[in-house]
Structure formats: C-alpha cells, structure tokens
Homo-oligomer: A and B are copies of this chain.
Amino acid sequence: MTDAPMTAQAASTATAGDILSRQLTAQAGAFLRALPLAVGEVGARPGSAAAVPAAGTADLLRAVRRIGGLLHSFGAVFEQTWAQESRTELRWLLNLLALEPGYVRRSARLLGALDSLSGSDPEGTGMLAGHAGAPKARALLDRQLTLARTRAHSTVLQELRSARLHALADRMTLLVGEAPLLEAAGGRASAVLLPQAAAAFTAMSASAQQLPLQRAATPYGGDGLRRLGAVPTARGATDADTALAADDAPWSRLRILVKRARYALEVCGRPSSELDELDAVLGRHQEAADAAVTAATAARTPRITPATAYVLGVVHADQRLEVEAARYAFGRRWPDLPLGLDGWLEIPPAEGWGHSPAPRTA
C-alpha cells in the first residue's frame, strides 16, 4: 500500500522530510484528482443507493485518511498550527463523505439481517420466518434509513460547493511538493520516523491491552447482550443506551488507533496485512454497533405494532451478537501481533527501508 515506493538505495540516505514529502505529494495528488470525480458522483445520484462509495469518492476517502493519519503520527516534524488545521479540515471532509455511504451500508446490513432472520430458504430459514412483524419492521427500517440518507445526501451536496472545501483543495494544492516541515525533518528517516511510528503502535497496543480481550476470545460469553462494560459512575445513568455506548467506545477508539498505526507503518514502507485485518474486524464491530442502535431507535417509534417491535428486538439482539462476534474475531487475532515493533521496524534501513518487505511469517 506504499504509494511512493523507493529503491532501497535511494531510501537508505533519505531524510524523514524526503519520505514524508514524497508521501504527501502522492496523496495530495490523489486527493486533487479524485475530488472532482467525487463531487460529480455525489451530484449524479440523487436517489440511487450504492453500498460501496463510487470510485472517485473511495479514492478521495483513501487519500484523506492517509494524509490525516500521516499528519497525526508524524506531527512532530510539521509546523504545528498548519498540521492541526489541516487535520481538522480533513476530518470534516472525511465525516462528510462517509455519511451517505454509511447509511447505505447500514441499510444493507439491517435489511440483510432482517431478510436472513425472516428468510425461509431451505439453507437458511431464520427464526422470524413467516412472522407478521417482519415485513412491517423492514418497511419501517427502510423508511427511516432512506430518510436519513436523503438528508445526508443534501448536506453533502451543499457542502461540496462550500468555500470550506475550496479552501481545503487549495491547501492540498500547496502541499504538493511543499509540505511545511520543521528542521527536525532533516534527520535520517530511520532516526526520525521510526520512533513516531513506534509511538502509534504503542498507543494501539496500550489501548487494546485495556480491553477484556481474554473474555472476548471466549465464544458465546454473552458480552454482546448481557455483560456490557461498566458505565463510569460519574455519568450516573444506567440505561442501556449509555451502557452500550460506553461499552463500544473503547473499541471505536481502538479502531482509530489501529488505522493510525496502519498508516504509519505504510509510510515507513511496512504495510501490515495483520493490521489491515484488525482494521476490517473493528470496522465490522463499528457497523454492527451502529446498526444495533438504529434498530433500538426504530423500536421506539410511536404507534408501531407489538409484532414490529418484537422483530426489531430480535434484530437488535442479532446485531449485538455480530458485535460480540467481531470482538471474538479480534480477541483471536490480536495475540498474533507482536507486542512491540520489533521485527517490523528494526530492520536496518539499507536492507528493508522504504520498499515492501518480505512477508512476515511470525
């Protein structure tokens, strides 16, 4: 996933600034190429629904995530105010662009779950097959999610014409070849970048170690339904929404840290398929948790029938089960990761720096 691979020879003498500038130039270029495509794509689909963002939007999201991650993890070598402002603007665009595809994916997930739960396929009859509430609950979820998506679409359309986006595009244009680096960037790549990538890795590890990973590696522990984490007493509330949010929060936070570590390793020329997989697992966790909230919220719609509410209760539990399954998958994979960066970044620069490394087998 290294967008600007270098030969080992060139890399061995590169400064941190060389590496980062090259990466930023490549990603800012990708941003500027993808932006008009993405704007066109959003404008072209007033009502259509695609679970996967179209190519331009996907490329734009990809560049935005990597530039933001780079500016975070290697922030020490950039002009502080500029880096902070850039990250804020990139996060704004990320949230904006992710909004509509997020609703489309949530809709696909929830309606897919409902169809699976109420399906009467011989290979997969669900526990709600033939239930009178299933079509009603489906229509309710579909209506509510379509409305949310339409609203998101309008917001995105509006913001894509905003001065704010133009300013961000200008910022990216200036970034091509001209990242505002501090003097520290003149140091050798290995001396400057490795400690910062290691810090991203350490932050991720520390966050993961605080999770109940042992518990999460035991299947059917009921964590998704029955044993949510304690709500900090300061908040006082003991209702399920607060408990669920508090229970999911550290996993959401970990997801961000995994992404940061992943992008930091990419910058160092060490893409990790293990981190890609953990990122994907935590992405599933996030989407299932969000879908569960949507089901619970839909069940509070006034004047629905008991049958509809019953089906939504099953769907809610089903999505919390998916949350538990994702935690289980994470809890099983995590111990395979080395506890530190040893073996990932400790290779002498002349041998492995900058280029895609041989696949790790540890």
Q: Which residues of A contact B (CB under 8 A)?
A: 116-120, 122-131, 219-220, 222, 224-231, 237-240, 243-244, 247, 292, 299, 304-318, 320-322, 324-325, 328
Contacts and interface: CB of A to CB of B under 8 A. Distances in A.
A122 B230 contact: yes
Contacts of A247: 125
A237 to B, nearest CB: 8
Contact of A240 (B123, B131, B315): B131
Contact of A312 (B117, B118, B313): B313
A313 to B, nearest CB: 2
Nearest to A299: B310
B225 A314 contact: yes
Q: Which 8 pairs from chain A and chain B are nearest by CB?
A: A313-B313, A219-B219, A317-B317, A130-B239, A306-B309, A120-B238, A220-B325, A122-B230
Nearest to A323: B127
18 contacts: A123-B230, A124-B226, A125-B243, A127-B316, A127-B317, A129-B228, A129-B238, A130-B238, A219-B328, A222-B318, A225-B318, A299-B310, A307-B309, A312-B313, A313-B314, A314-B317, A317-B317, A321-B321
Contacts of A130: 237-240
This chain's copy number in the assembly = 2
Contacts of A328: 219-220
Nearest to A113: B226
A93 B20 CA distance: 81
Given A219-B219, A220-B219, A243-B120, A226 B127 contact: yes
Contacts of A118: 240
Contact of A308 (B230, B306, B320): B306
Contacts of A225: 117, 126-127, 314, 317-318, 321
Contact of A306 (B127, B244, B306): B306
Nearest to A228: B125
B129 A239 contact: yes
Contact of A325 (B120, B219, B304): B219
A127 B247 CA distance: 10
A125 B230 contact: yes
A296 to B, nearest CB: 8
A120 B228 CA distance: 9
Contacts of A308: 306
A244 B125 CA distance: 9
A289 to B, nearest CB: 11
Contact of A127 (B119, B129, B240): B240
A324 B299 CA distance: 25
A26 to B, nearest CB: 40
A243 B313 contact: no
A129 B243 contact: yes
Contacts of A312: 310, 313
